[in-house]
Amino acid sequence: MVQGVGFRPHLYRLAQKHGLRGEVANSPAGVELILEGGGDKICLFLDQLQQSPPSGSLITALTEEDLPAINYSQFSIGPSHNTGSRTALAPADFGMCQDCQEELEDPADRRFQHPFISCTACGPRYTLVNSLPYDRPLTSMADFPLCSACQKEYNDPASRRFHAEPICCHDCGPRLTLFEDGGENKANPLASAAALLSDGKVVAIKGVGGFHLAADACNDQAVGRLRTIKRRVDKPLAIMVRDLDTAAALAHISAKAQEALCSAIRPIVIMPIKAGVPFSKLITRNIPEIGIMLAYTPLHYLLFNQAPQILVMTSFNEPGSPMLTGTKEALALLGTDCDGVLSHDRHIITRCDDSVLRSHGDEILILRRSRGYTPLPIALDQSYPAILACGAGEKVTLCLTRDKMAFLSQHLGETRSPISQDHYRQACSHLQNLFHISPEIIAHDLHPDYFSSRYALEQTGIEKIAVQHHHGHIASCMTEHGLDQPVIGVALDGTGLGADGTLWGGEILLSTLADFKRLAHFDTLEMAGGETAIKEPWRLALAWLHKEDLQGSELAFLTNIPPATKNIVEEMLAQKVNCPTTSSLGRLFDAVAALINLRLEITHSAQAAMELEAIADPDETGVYPFNLNQKQDKECRIIETKELLQGILADLKQETPQAAIATRFHNTIIKMISQACLDLSKEHNINEVVCSGGVFQNRLISQGLKQSLEEVGLMVYCHQQVPCNDGGLALGQAAVAAARIRNLSSSKTGVSHA
C-alpha cells in the first residue's frame, strides 16, 4: 500500500538524507525505486524504510535487483509507469489529519476555511479513484487543474503536499453550493446550511462516500421528521460531533473506543449512553447505546463552527436503495425528503457507507467494514487463485482474492431492489478493474434465491462453488486466524439454508476450510408464514408453545394479538402449512422476546434480540435447566429447548421481571453451547472453537461464551478484522472455494492434503 500515502516523498527525503541518487515512480505493481550510491548507504536506507514506513502505508513485499549504473545527478520523482504486473493496492479514505485541521483554523494560512483541504496523510482516496496507479489524472480531482501555488507545493520536496494527489485550494478546488427552496446559494453555502439545521430543518450533505441526511439531534421535531423521511421507525440513528470532548459528554468511551473514534478511519462507534444527555430520545429508542462518529471532512468541521453541536448523520437513501452520491438525485428529493442540499462539484466515483464498530467493555467488535477500511486487503496465510465470492442476502459485501490478499468490498447492503442490484454489479466490476482481477472461480451461498447467488449462477465459462451459509461464517473466522486444521465451529445466526434443505442458524460444526459435518444444532421452531415469522416474532413464540405442547392461554403477549390472526397461525402450525422449520438461534431470541411480551413485531432486523440484550439485568445469575443428550437427529445432537421454555413460563407465572428472564435466557444459551462444545471437543479430540454468525453481535453472548469456553480450557477464536454477521461472509466463501480447489489439485497429483 504505497500509493496515495506520501510514499514517494518519503523515499525522496530518505534519499536526500543518505546522499543517494536515483529515481522513484508509481507503477501498476506499487512503487519502483532506483538508488545509486554506496552499498552500505543503500542498506541503511532500506533498513530505515522498513523500520519506519510512512503512516498509512504497508509494504507487503520488497524485491531487490542489481542494475548497471546510470549515473544519476540527483534523486527525483519520475512519471508513473504504465506497464508491468498490476498488483498495486489502492488506499482507503482517511479522515482529516491534525496538520490540515490546524491550517483550516489558521486565518493566516492560504487554505483557511477551505472545505477540501487535504495532504499526503489525509483526505478521500478510494471513493475518488477511477483506476490505478493512484495519480491525480485517474481520480475525480482530474477536473480541477492545480493552480500555480498548489503546483509549487506539489513539486516542493519540503512541502507536506509534495506529490499529494488530491490537493487543491480556494483558487483551484471544488466549489460548495447550497440548494434550497429559493434556489442556489454559492456565496454563503455553509452558513446557510448551518442556519437551516439550527432552524430544525433536514439538510442533505455530500460527504466522502455519499450523501448524509443531517438534522439537529437535540430537536425532537427535526429527528422525528428525519425518521419519517427515512421510513425508519425504531432503528437507532448515528450522530456526528466535532471532537472527542463533545463525544465524551454523551457516551462512556473506553480506551479502545477512543482510539477507533479518533483514527483516520473515523468509523461510527456504538457506545453506552451517559445519563442526562441532551439529544432526542427518538435517536436511540429502546437501546441504551449511541453510535457516534467524529467530524471527518473539513466540510464537517466548518459546519460545526456554526451548526448545532450534535447532528444526526444518517445515510441519505430511499428505503432498500443504496446511499445517494449524485447531486441531481439529491435535488430530486429536495422539498420532500430534505429542506436543503449542501453539495459540491467533486464527483464521488465509488459509493461507500460509514463503517460501524461496537465498543464492548475493553473490546471492539466490527459490525460494518466499509469507509476507511475498503479497499485495504485482509492478509491470507497462503496464495489464493483469483476468486470472486458473492456474499449472501443482507449486509452484502463481496470478496476478490489475489495471491495472499483478500479484498472485501464496501458494505453493499440489501440487494432486493433493482437499483441496489445495479449497485452490486457496478461494485463488482469496479473492484475487478481496480485490482485487475479476472475471477477463475465464483463462490456463492447455497441459497439459490439470493440475488448474489443468482448473479454468480448467471456468469458463464467460470467454475462455481456453492458454500453452505454457516460453513462460510466459520471459514471466514478461521481465515482471519490462519486456521485450517479441523475445528469446532459455533455458528449462531439468523436463518441460512442448510445442507438438508431446511433453515439452519444455531449450529455446531466440525469444520475445516474445505468441508464440514453438522455435529449439533438447536431444536427447531416452525416459522408460520415463512419470512413473515421473522417480522412477527410472536408467531415463533406461538410455534414454540405449540411444539412443546405447552399451552399458555393466560400469557400476556397472546392478548396483544388479534384473535383471528392468532387462530390462522395456530391452524397453520397444526396443519404444518407454510411452516418451514429452523434451528436458528436468532429466531429463538425472537421467540423469547415475544413470549415475555417485550417485542411482538419488528421493524428492522435483529430488533427483538437487541432489545432483549438491552434490558438484561447485569446482576442476575440464574440459569434455566437444560438437557443436551436426549435427542439425536441422525448423527447430530439436538440442543433441546423444552426445559428452557418451561423455565421461562414458570418465571412468567411468578411475575419475574422481564430483565431477569432476559439474563437467565442469555446465561442458559451460553451454558448450553459451552457444555456442548466441551463434550464434542472431548469426543473429537479438538481444542479449537471458532465463533461466527450474527448472534455474536450480542455482547452478552460473545463475551459470556468466550469466557465460559476458555474456563473449560478451550481455545476460542472470534472475528477481529471482518464482521461476524453476513458482512464478513464473502471472505469465508472465498476460503472454502480456495480450499476445495487445493484439495482437488492435490488429489489429482496424488499429493495428500494435510
Taking CA atoms, 395 is separated from 239, 320, 355, 449, 723, in Å, by: 21, 12, 12, 16, 10
Q: Which does 527 bind (CB under 5 to 8 A by kind): Zn ion, Fe ion, none?
A: none
Q: Which does 215 bind (CB under 5 to 8 A by kind): Fe ion, Zn ion, none?
A: none
What minimum distance in Å lies between the beta carbon of 680 and Fe ion? Answer: 21
Q: Which x/- pattern, by CB under 5 A, does the window 587-626 give for Fe ion?
A: ----------------------------------------
Q: Which does 150 bind (CB under 5 to 8 A by kind): Zn ion, Fe ion, none?
A: Zn ion
Does residue 614 interact with Zn ion by CB under 5 A? no
Residue by residue, DSSP assigns 427-471 as HHHHHHHHHT---SEEEEES-TTSHHHHHHHH--SSEEEEE-HHH
Task: Report 143-162 residues binding Zn ion (CB under 5 A).
Answer: 147, 150
What minimum distance in Å lies between the beta carbon of 150 and Fe ion? Answer: 48
Q: Which does 596 bind (CB under 5 to 8 A by kind): Fe ion, Zn ion, none?
A: none
Backbone angles phi and psi of 529, in degrees to 5: 95, 10
What minimum distance in Å lies between the beta carbon of 173 and Zn ion? Answer: 6
Q: Which residue, 90 or 585, is less far from Fe ion as judged by CB? A: 585
Beta carbons of 557 and 596 less than 8 angstroms apart: yes
Q: Which residues pair with 451 in a beta bridge?
A: none
Please, what sign has the CA dihedral across residues 165, 168, 172, 174? positive
How many other C-beta atoms are found inside a 10 Å radius of the C-beta of residue 37? Answer: 16
Q: Which residue, 119 or 734, is less far from Zn ion as judged by CB? A: 119
Task: Report 203-262 residues binding Fe ion (CB under 5 A).
Answer: none
Angle at 350 (CA atoms; ends 347, 352), nearest 5 degrees: 115
Does residue 534 interact with Zn ion by CB under 5 A? no
Among the listed ranges 76-84, 165-173, 588-596, 683-691, the one in contact with Zn ion (CB under 5 A) is 165-173
| Interaxial angle between packed helices 39-51 and 7-18, expressed in degrees from 0 to 180 and rounded to the nearest 10 | 140
Give the list of residues 6+ apart from residue 135 with CB closer than 8 angstroms, or none. 26, 80, 165
- Cα distance between residue 512 and residue 471, in whole Å: 9
Q: Which does 726 bind (CB under 5 to 8 A by kind): Zn ion, Fe ion, none?
A: Fe ion
Task: Report 724-743 residues binding Fe ion (CB under 5 A).
Answer: 726
Does residue 171 interact with Zn ion by CB under 5 A? yes
Angle at 109 (CA atoms; ends 105, 114), nearest 5 degrees: 60
Among the listed ranges 72-80, 258-266, 493-501, 668-676, the one in contact with Fe ion (CB under 5 A) is 493-501
Task: Report 44-103 residues binding Zn ion (CB under 5 A).
Answer: 97, 100
Cell of 350: 465509488
Q: Which does 204 bind (CB under 5 to 8 A by kind): Fe ion, Zn ion, none?
A: none
Among the listed ranges 24-32, 33-41, 170-178, 209-217, the one in contact with Zn ion (CB under 5 A) is 170-178
What minimum distance in Å lies between the beta carbon of 480 and Fe ion? Answer: 16
Does residue 493 interact with Fe ion by CB under 5 A? yes
Residue by residue, DSSP assigns 101-170 as HHHHT-TTSTTTT-TT--BTTBB--GGGB-SSS--GGGBGGGGSPPPHHHHHHHH-TTSTTTT-TT---T
Please, what sign has the CA dihedral across residues 548, 552, 558, 563? positive
Cell of 223: 429527528
- Cα distance between residue 151 and residue 167, in whole Å: 9
- Cα distance between residue 406 and residue 384, in whole Å: 9
Q: Which residue, 227 or 469, is less far from Fe ion as judged by CB? A: 469
Q: Which residue, 351 or 473, is less far from Fe ion as judged by CB? A: 473
Q: Which residue, 180 or 726, is less far from Fe ion as judged by CB? A: 726
Q: Which does 262 bind (CB under 5 to 8 A by kind): Fe ion, Zn ion, none?
A: none
Q: Which residue, 493 or 651, is less far from Fe ion as judged by CB? A: 493
- Cα distance between residue 625 and residue 671, in whole Å: 10
Give the count of residues interacting with Zn ion (CB under 5 A): 10
Given candidates 1, 20, 33, 119, which one binds Zn ion under the rule CB under 5 A?
Answer: 119
- Which of 33, 734, 719, 116 is CA-nearest to residue 431? 734
Residue by residue, DSSP assigns 334-374 as BTTTBSEEEEESS--SS--PPPEEEEETTEEEEEE--TTTT
What minimum distance in Å lies between the beta carbon of 150 and Zn ion? Answer: 3
What minimum distance in Å lies between the beta carbon of 91 and Zn ion? Answer: 13
Does residue 169 interact with Zn ion by CB under 5 A? yes
- Cα distance between residue 249 and residue 237, in whole Å: 18
Does residue 122 interact with Zn ion by CB under 5 A? yes
Beta carbons of 371 and 409 less than 8 angstroms apart: no
Among the listed ranges 105-113, 166-174, 369-377, 415-423, the one in contact with Zn ion (CB under 5 A) is 166-174
What minimum distance in Å lies between the beta carbon of 725 and Fe ion? Answer: 6
Among the listed ranges 114-122, 311-319, 413-421, 462-470, the one in contact with Zn ion (CB under 5 A) is 114-122
Does residue 208 interact with Zn ion by CB under 5 A? no
Given candidates 25, 42, 46, 172, which one binds Zn ion under the rule CB under 5 A?
Answer: 172
Q: Which residues pair with 465 in a beta bridge?
A: 443
What minimum distance in Å lies between the beta carbon of 151 and Zn ion? Answer: 8
Does residue 295 interact with Zn ion by CB under 5 A? no
Among the listed ranges 38-46, 253-261, 334-342, 722-730, the one in contact with Fe ion (CB under 5 A) is 722-730
Q: Which residue, 160 or 230, is less far from Zn ion as judged by CB? A: 160
What minimum distance in Å lies between the beta carbon of 200 and Zn ion? Answer: 34
Q: Which residue, 26 or 698, is less far from Fe ion as judged by CB? A: 698
Give the count of residues interacting with Fe ion (CB under 5 A): 2
What minimum distance in Å lies between the beta carbon of 578 and Fe ion? Answer: 23
Q: Which residue, 372 or 693, is less far from Zn ion as judged by CB? A: 372
Give the list of residues 6+ apart from residue 20 with CB closer than 8 angstroms, or none. 35, 36, 37, 41, 42, 45, 75
Q: Which does 119 bind (CB under 5 to 8 A by kind): Zn ion, Fe ion, none?
A: Zn ion
Taking CA atoms, 368 is separated from 323, 385, 395, 743, in Å, by: 15, 26, 8, 32
Q: Which residue, 516 or 624, is less far from Fe ion as judged by CB? A: 516
Among the listed ranges 55-63, 292-300, 676-684, 723-731, the one in contact with Fe ion (CB under 5 A) is 723-731
- Cα distance between residue 228 and residue 213, in whole Å: 12
Please, what sign has the CA dihedral across residues 713, 729, 693, 447? negative
What minimum distance in Å lies between the beta carbon of 108 and Zn ion? Answer: 17
Q: Which does 493 bind (CB under 5 to 8 A by kind): Fe ion, Zn ion, none?
A: Fe ion
Does residue 445 interact with Fe ion by CB under 5 A? no
Q: Which residue, 140 or 409, is less far from Fe ion as judged by CB? A: 409
Helix, strand, coil percentages for the chain (3-state, nearest 5): 35, 20, 45
Cell of 217: 439531534
Beta carbons of 702 and 696 less than 8 angstroms apart: yes
What minimum distance in Å lies between the beta carbon of 690 and Fe ion? Answer: 14
Helix (H) or strand (E) holding 651: helix 642-653
Q: Which does 283 bind (CB under 5 to 8 A by kind): Fe ion, Zn ion, none?
A: none
Q: Which residue, 171 or 571, is less far from Zn ion as judged by CB? A: 171
Angle at 350 (CA atoms; ends 446, 134), nearest 5 degrees: 115
- Cα distance between residue 277 and residue 646, in whole Å: 40
Q: Which does 591 bind (CB under 5 to 8 A by kind): Zn ion, Fe ion, none?
A: none
Q: Which residue, 392 or 595, is less far from Fe ion as judged by CB? A: 392
Cell of 457: 449462477
List residues near Fe ion by CB under 5 A: 493, 726
List residues near Zn ion by CB under 5 A: 97, 100, 119, 121-122, 147, 150, 169, 171-172
